[in-house]
A and B are shown apart, each in its own frame.
Chain A
């Protein structure tokens, strides 16, 4: 039912690179695992009453569980990202728990950003952000392969120029 709600309008969703899963995992899971290790080491080594060290170990275990959940969330989150170039609008959808679908008419785009942080660059992906005169638009497509990001940017800029209708 909910997937139905966010089904694409025209052409099917174009999905993004699996490298995004990797990026999300590195960003979110790694720190959690590090935290778990620190907690566990403290729990074992600190000269504190056993209750405290059990609490620390428990926290470490919970963090590991959290990391495991985040691991699977990363992939679901990546799969939830989709975009479709329609005749007159670009449609972007994202989110697992909080799903969102934004349709941006080409003529309304003010500018298009392509950005890639060092991690994204290493994985060969980039994020394309669409800006209209409204900040609510906030349409972001993460995890695009670098060439696809450039192509999309050029295409959108071109379409924006030919259909631009001012503010």
Chain B
């Protein structure tokens, strides 16, 4: 958080060492420079090759240009990697983690323990080959709150995570406990199930139908070459969709640990991510059309600080808690995360006069709440149920546009931190929307006091 007044109740005691203090602390693993350098070297080689071959470089023969590009790219990348590693140090003291970076411009990021939201370990493929891992520390708020320590040995990363989580939860840290607490296995998803789920998921089916349609069209038009090219393109694309999901969720396990739920997944790059129970802001259950009939669902969670993570990277922090699971497993995980909140069927429905603004979807909208949480359900093709525990509600909104005014409709929204959970009751009867919102305010107040 940029503003120190932002959350005064969290302000840590003034730390003894200012930014001017000498940068003592530990460096990350020495191979970091090399590995980071390799990654940058690829970029360097590529861009140098492009510029040298593209514009030509006077009358220099091509092979010289290539050689210069490769050697230069490698040298630049490795040098940058080494310098970055050399000038990066981290300190873990009694109150915070501090990461000092920078060659000319020194930056020092401090993360007070009580602000740490989660600590994850990722093993990108290249690092994993050397037994290294990166440690990701997430804090609430701010666009780039938190930091990534790259790279530590896996053992060291695990030990550091345990230390940070112990401190973050205000527990005594016992360094003699060697291993990460593994916890009880709550759920796992086999690659076969993920594969099957992907094959019957709607976007995949649409992609297949679209691809086949295009191919048939090209065949009818007598464009055999286009057809053959199309087969290759569509085929690769589909394999890519399936491959990405299956590889990413390979060997998915969900454990319950004292700190929260721990997700481990990935075939090539492994990710180990912990979601603390108390940080879960809301839960969304997705049930695509075919999955629903098979009793499968996907579970996503809202965790403060995860929204901006995302990214296409296979190890990126993910808000998916269960990529695919049976009803019973989903219910068990939900019961762990939002006890009691999910049992109630939402009972407030959108009125039929909402059809002009909401032709099909109005039939499937429901909101409702019980003592524990607020539930909103919508969608026919893909049913989505969002659950927000009352004590996590951020704010409540009622809104109405000109059409809604004419039809006597209004939308109620329960705000949660950015993420997959979207607890909205769209186009409800106006007075009902208002009373739902006011009731939610009361329930949230009571829940906050109890918490």
Contact = CB atoms under 8 A, between A and B. Distances in A.
Contacts of B290: none
Interface string B322-334: 0000000000000
A164 B7 contact: yes
B400 A2 contact: yes
B399 A134 contact: no
Interface in B3-29: 3, 5-10
A110 B434 contact: no
B448 A167 contact: no
Q: Which one of B141, B304, B391, B395 has the highest number of Cβ atoms from chain A below 10 Å of its Cβ?
A: B395
Contacts of B3: 111
B7 A110 contact: yes
A110 B6 contact: yes
Interface stretch (B50-58, B239-247, B256-264, B438-446): B438-446
B401 A111 contact: no
Nearest to A136: B415
Contacts of B391: 165
B211 to A, nearest CB: 37
A119 interface: no
A100 B397 contact: yes
B341 interface: no
A135 B86 CA distance: 38
A107 B391 CA distance: 11
Contact of B396 (A6, A95, A102, A133): A102
A9 B395 contact: no
Residue among A5, A6, A164 having the largest count of chain B Cβ atoms under 10 Å: A5
B431 A167 contact: no
B394 A103 contact: no
A99 interface: yes
Contacts of B402: 97-98
A139 B398 CA distance: 12
Interface residues of B, number: 43
A1 B408 contact: yes
Interface in B214-247: none
Nearest to B398: A101
A103 B141 contact: no
A105 B9 contact: no
Contacts of B393: 105, 108
Contact of B8 (A95, A107, A161): A161
A132 to B, nearest CB: 4
A131 B439 CA distance: 22
A49 interface: no
Interface string A88-115: 1100000101111111110110110000
A88 B440 CA distance: 13
B382 interface: no
In this complex, the member of A100, A160, A161, A164 whose beta carbon has the largest number of chain B beta carbons within 10 angstroms is A100
Contacts of A102: 395-397
Interface string A1-36: 110011001000000000000000000000000000
Contact of A5 (B6, B281, B410): B410
B418 interface: yes
Interface string B407-418: 010100101111
A137 interface: yes
A153 to B, nearest CB: 10
A5 B431 contact: yes
Contacts of B396: 102-103
Nearest to B444: A105
B104 interface: no
A112 to B, nearest CB: 9
B400 A165 contact: no
A157 B77 CA distance: 48
A100 B441 CA distance: 16
A111 B140 CA distance: 13
A164 B258 CA distance: 25
Given A9-B438, A98-B401, A166 B394 contact: no
Nearest to A87: B445
Contact of B395 (A1, A95, A104, A157): A104
Nearest to B441: A103
Contacts of A2: 400, 405, 430
Nearest to A9: B438
Given A5-B410, A108-B394, A164-B9, A103 B437 contact: yes
B420 to A, nearest CB: 13
B441 A134 contact: no
A5 to B, nearest CB: 5
B395 A111 contact: no
Contacts of A9: 438
A110 B438 CA distance: 22
Given A99-B400, A167-B304, 10 more contacts: A1-B408, A2-B400, A89-B445, A98-B399, A98-B400, A108-B393, A133-B281, A135-B417, A137-B394, A161-B9
17 contacts: A9-B438, A95-B399, A98-B402, A105-B395, A108-B394, A110-B1, A110-B7, A132-B415, A134-B394, A134-B416, A134-B417, A135-B418, A136-B415, A137-B395, A139-B395, A157-B8, A167-B140
Interface of B: 1, 3, 5-10, 140-141, 279, 281, 304, 391, 393-402, 405, 408, 410, 413, 415-418, 430-431, 433-434, 437-438, 441, 444-445, 448, 451
The 7 closest A-B pairs by CB, nearest first: A134-B415, A134-B394, A111-B6, A132-B394, A164-B9, A136-B415, A100-B399
